[in-house]
Amino acid sequence: MRIGVYVCHCGLNIAGVLDPQDLSEFAGTLPDVEVARDIQFTCSDTGQETIKEDIVEHKLDGVVVAACSPRLHEPTFRKVIADAGMNPFLLEMANIREQCSWVHMEEPARAQEKAKDLIRMAVAKAALLNPLVGEVMPVSQDVLVIGGGVAGIQAALDLADSGLRVYLVERKPTIGGYMALLTDVFPTNDCSICVLAPKMTDVYNHPLITLISYAEILNIEGSVGRFTVSGIKKARFVDESLCKGCINDCAAVCPVEVPDEYQFGLGKRKAIYMPIPQSVPLVVCIDPQACVGCGLCAEACPVDAVKYDQEPEEFKFDVGAIIVATGWKPFDPARKEEFGYGRYKDVITGLQMERLLNAAGPTRGEVVRPSTGEIARSIAFIQCVGSRDHTVGNVYCSRVCCMYALKNAQLVKEKDPDADITIHYIDMRAGGEGYEEFYERAQRLGINFVRGRVSEVQEVDGGLVLTYEDTLLGRFRNSRYDLVCLSTGLEANSDADVVGNILGLAKRPDGFFEIAHPKMRPVEAHIDGVFIAGCASGPKEIQVSIAQGGAAAAKALRLLSRGELALDPVTAMVDTDKCIGCKLCVEICPSKAISVERTAMVDEASCKGCGTCAAACPVDAIDMRLFSDEQILAQVRAATATKREYPFIVGFLCNWCSYAGADLAGTSRIQYPPNMRVIRVMCVGRVDPSFVIEALRNGADGVLISGCRLGECHYDKGNYQAYQRVQVLRGVLEAVGVNPKRVKIIWCAASEGEILAKEMRTFVDELKEIGSIGDELKGGSA
């Protein structure tokens, strides 16, 4: 190997603490180093030119830049060496600024020794680097949108308007979702279906959208850019191409009546029915459970569209990306027995109230008491039914119930200004544009607000009596109402479990699908090429669901617009001779990138390069590009070559959180003792126990492993994997006579430079107490 080493002064940022000239002279003595220089500003044009000239003149096949963090300038220097004709992956950086000169300003001599070790480690890795080529893969530009609620509709329209073909798969006979069933919607009280129906029609008429309604997805194979989707379109027993959507001719003659699920049990429908008047597609559907097969509808149909012998149809197509917009399901308030839902007729849910208020609903917009059919003059709304409630397992706030209760209360009050309406709440939450104003409007209309959760509802002499404490007055009270509306919360849609399992989507403890980052990646799933929009990832109002539908469409478009994907070459690779096909890697891979037939195979398009599989493989058959066992072990040996510190620590920091946190300690000039030599890994899940053992065997007094905080791993659960492995390893170490406290695992976010520094100080003290590793390992067989 012919390696060039460039030590940066970075003005005085590095040179103010370290001696770059001494460092470059030291680098010149290392094996494989052809040329070593110190440069004022390596990232400047002159610095870049120097490297390029050296590459040509000295025929370099490896470059080490000892300067700032690779998280800052690795892309810069990769481009520099690529410009000079080298493979960009033959670069290694030694972080002597953020993790050395800036954090050991009071101890320049020890910092200088640390910098030498960091350069020795970088050169050792550089000597083992291989050229890597990221492959380019052609992709399908079609997109599957699962779920035809408002989020899915928006995603489909945005994609199709951008020129991509969209398959919109909906399990119900019509698209529109829950929004199509609501009456007016907050905060402007415009009619829900009036604003949604045009979008539904646009979906139906769009030449680039294939709408597959009344269908189920049965399987999805493949990965980003080339998913193969298959499923089944259920039999409607009506020919979609013939039905004219006249509604009444068939349903009018049907003798069977069943509760109408689109009225939430408040009305009836026939066995042959149009789900809602604005259904898209505008085609009736026969409920096979209800139909008695009398044949009257077939006789009545003027176009002979009824087909009793219709069979389910299979479908199959390829797409490049998938948007999951599977929505939510309402909380079943019968689970809160104290509120009497199901027992008392006049206790209804928020969705039933929507239907009562809806001009197209079962009462044509009159809010009546279901028990008598009389207009309800006093109405109580009980908030947080099924939300913020550990007893039903829903800890979260459903986010929309305060607003829809305010809205429904306003609608009643507008119809009947003398109606006595009270909202019983825990907290009123009206966070959103125009929402607080909406709350104030409700107050001005004379709607009463009582803070305090209702403990129970009882039917007394034909009225409903609520028992509660008015917590603002500090008094226990009973109040009587004609009608009680339970503001039921939103739950994860269990109907979406099948799709979630097929795709391997992670779920949060609240049951909704987990997004790739709780803040920074709100519409991306952990799986490449899969996006999540709307209530599938948690309760949301219509406005936010639409925004997410659009955002997911933009993400899919960004992914597929070029028709090809450049693959990151930092992936896992399997030595098929060694692989025993145990499938441990399949279980562990967060990206579902590994499959096993006889031996394991890595789908490089899906692999994100965390390396958890490589660390887990019981026969070392999996290795990582750019972070191979050989390369990391070489870094460990180079780190422990001189050990001019006591205690001496080798650190493994994950790229996304802890390494970034260590960089932040640098930019914040948080000082900590220079005892640790850091090896960067993509994820702590990559840390193979053999790396730790190698460090201890070579005389490190301690090993610190630092990953993302639990629940925040960039690769979902790599930090949990690392934690388990460390626990096992500690047991092994103890068995061979090594103090298990020498191996420590911590969690540190990218924003927690102070925590990393504090942990460093603590660990140094702890190791001083334990003492030098001395002979602890030499006698053992580990």
Partner 1 sequence: MNEFTKEVLRLAGDEVKTCIQCGTCSASCPTAHLMDNSIRKLVKFVLEGMKDEALNSRSIWLCTSCLACTVRCPRGIRPMAVVSALKQIYEAEGMRNRDSIHEEIFNRHIKERGRVSEFFLSAEYMLRNPQSAAQIISFGAELIPRGKIDIEIRPDSIEGRDEVKRIFEELGGA
223 close to 237: Cβ distance less than 8 angstroms: no
Greatest Cα pair distance in the chain: 99
Q: Least distance to partner 1 from the beta carbon of 279, Å?
A: 42
Task: Closer to partner 1 by CB, 311 or 427: give it.
Answer: 427
In degrees and rounded to multiples of 5, residue 489 shows phi and psi of -85, 180
DSSP-based three-state secondary structure for 677? strand
**Least distance from C-beta 383 to partner 1, angstroms?**
15
The CA distance from 474 to 486, in Å, is 23
Scored b (16 or more CB within 10 A) or e, 307-341 reads beeeeeeebebbbbbbbbbbbbebbebebbeebbb
Nearer to partner 1, 21 or 478 (CB): 478
Nearest distance in Å: CB 443, partner 1: 4
Site for partner 1 in 663-722 (CB under 8 A): none
CB 122 to partner 1: min, Å: 58
Contact 434, 406 (CB under 8 A): no
Residues 259-288 that bind partner 1 (CB under 8 A): none
Residue 79 vs 451, nearer CB to partner 1:
451
Least distance CB 539 / partner 1 (angstroms): 23
Angle at 633 between CA 629 and CA 634, to 5 degrees: 120
Q: At 319, which amino acid appears?
A: V
Give, as ranges, the residues between 416 and 475 that touch partner 1 (CB under 8 A): 428, 440, 443-444, 446, 448, 451, 470, 472-473
E strands along 570-658, which residues?
Answer: 572-574, 594-596, 600-602, 622-624, 649-654
Strand runs labelled E in 320-462: 321-324, 328-330, 347-349, 378-385, 420-425, 448-451, 454-460
Residue among 111 and 405 whose Cβ is closer to partner 1: 405
**Quick one: 454 or 547, whose CB is closer to partner 1?**
454
Which burial class, exposed, middle or buried, applies to 306 when counting CB atoms under 10 A from its CB (0-12, 13-18, 19+)? Answer: buried
Interface characters, 471-510, with partner 1 (x: CB under 8 A): -xx-------------------------------------
Shortest Cβ distance from residue 476 to partner 1 (Å)?
Answer: 14
Three-class DSSP labels, 185-230? ECCCCEEHHHHHHHHHHHHHHCCCEEEECCEEEEEEEEECCEEEEE
Total number of residues binding partner 1 (CB under 8 A)? Answer: 10
**For partner 1, the closer CB: 17 or 447:** 447
Residue 454 or 486: which CB sits closer to partner 1?
A: 454
Minimum Å gap between C-beta 403 and partner 1 is: 16
Q: How many CA atoms lie within 13 A of 36 on its CB side?
A: 20
Nearer CB in complex with partner 1: 395/473: 473
- Of 83 and 440, nearer to partner 1 (C-beta) is 440
Edge-to-edge strand list for the sheet holding 530-532: 209-212, 166-169, 143-146, 321-324, 530-532
Q: Is the peptide bond before 281 cis (omega within 30 degrees of 0)?
A: yes
Minimum distance from CB of 387 to partner 1 (Å)?
20
Q: Are 526 and 591 in contact (CB under 8 A)?
A: yes
40 scored as a contact of partner 1 (CB under 8 A): no
Residue 395, class by beta-carbon neighbours within 10 Å (0-12 exposed, 13-18 middle, 19+ buried)? exposed
- Residue 419 beta carbon to partner 1: minimum distance, rounded to whole angstroms: 11
User: C-beta of 378: minimal distance to partner 1 in Å?
Assistant: 13
Q: Taking the complex as a whole, how short is the minimal distance between the CB of residue 480 and partner 1, in angstroms?
A: 15
List of residues 6+ apart from 57 with CB closer than 8 A: none
Cβ proximity to partner 1: between 163 and 446 the closer is 446
Judged by beta carbon, residue 109 or residue 473, the one nearer partner 1 is 473
Strand-by-strand arrangement of the 91-95 sheet: 33-39, 3-8, 62-67, 91-95
Distance CA(174)–CA(702), nearest Å, equals 62
CA distance 528 to 226: 11
Q: Which of 6/439 has CB closer to partner 1? A: 439
Location of structure tokens 């994997």: 721
Give the nearer residue to partner 1 in terms of CB position, either 257 or 437. Answer: 437
Angle at which helices 20-28 and 108-126 cross, to 10°:
40
Positions in the binding site for partner 1 (CB under 8 A): 428, 440, 443-444, 446, 448, 451, 470, 472-473
